[in-house]
Amino acid sequence: MTNILDNIFADKQKELAETKRNLPLPELKLRMGDQAPVRDVFKALHEGKHSKVIAEIKRRTPFKGELRENFNASEIAGDYVKHGAVTLSILTESNYFGSNIGVLKEVRPIAPIPLLRKDFISDEYQVYESRAHGADLFLLIATWLDQNQLTDLLLLGKELGLPALVETHNEWDMEKAFKAKASLIGINNRDLTNGKTDLNIARRLIPMALQEPGNTLVCESGIHGREEIEEFEKIGAHAFLIGESLMTSNNIPEKLKILIGNGDSEFTSQS
């Protein structure tokens, strides 16, 4: 029986066939030469005294619907950059998240920091596409990709100088990430097949990820307050990918400052 993650990937692959016809790979590769050098996400996630937040721009999700009224990617990116985000995560999926890859180009002039292309990537074309549109790294979802796909796409990214954030959700995913020799590993507390979030995923998987030396660990989903960040930093997380709690906040700048440890502690995590 298929789940929503299967459906998203299936629809993405149908869409990709048309994308390839409209912009063939040789032309896409030429566009890569127009991009500025890749920004160093590892440096961004390890330098500085405050907690490291990868702040996400996404209009909606298949689980929660529309997240923000009067959505404006450029304005949100400006707030994120100004108030302490070290990397931006840009949702580019259209059918379920209401976005498109053009948002990377829209945000790029505003953000002098690394941009993560967050999408449902399963084809080499999408890796080239990410670089051609200004991304500095891209997402690979270990739950859905088989071992060979994951390894091959990660290697292609390395050849292009483009790191991949390999997202895991369980022990089997983590083993895949190890075998693929991933060095930037995400631990997603949300089950993408049903939308449920459980912070115990990170509590269980962070110690496992640390068994491989040199990994940079990103805790994803379900982070709403400073206390959760402090807990996961103590057990080894290096950075936090945060979307919904920022996108639904009444005051994005203040919310972000609190999350990174540079804000008003009286500002509630529900804002």
Catalytic residues: 56, 58, 118, 167, 188, 220-221
H helix or E strand, kind and range, residue 73: helix 73-82
Name the region of 42 (left: φ>0; alpha: ψ -120 to 50; beta: rest): alpha
Nearest to 59 by CA among 51, 50, 47, 67: 67
Distance of CA 124 to the CA centre of its chain: 18
CA angle (187, 193, 197) in 5-degree steps: 50
Rounded Cα–Cα distance for residues 159 and 62 (Å): 33
Which residue type does 126 have? Q
H helix or E strand, kind and range, residue 165: strand 164-168
SS3 22: helix
The answer to whether the CB of 238 falls within 8 A of the CB of 216 is: yes
* Residues whose CB falls within 8 Å of the CB of residue 191, separated by 6 or more in sequence, listed in order: 169, 197, 198
What 8-state DSSP symbol labels residue 138?
A: E
What 8-state DSSP symbol labels residue 189?
A: -
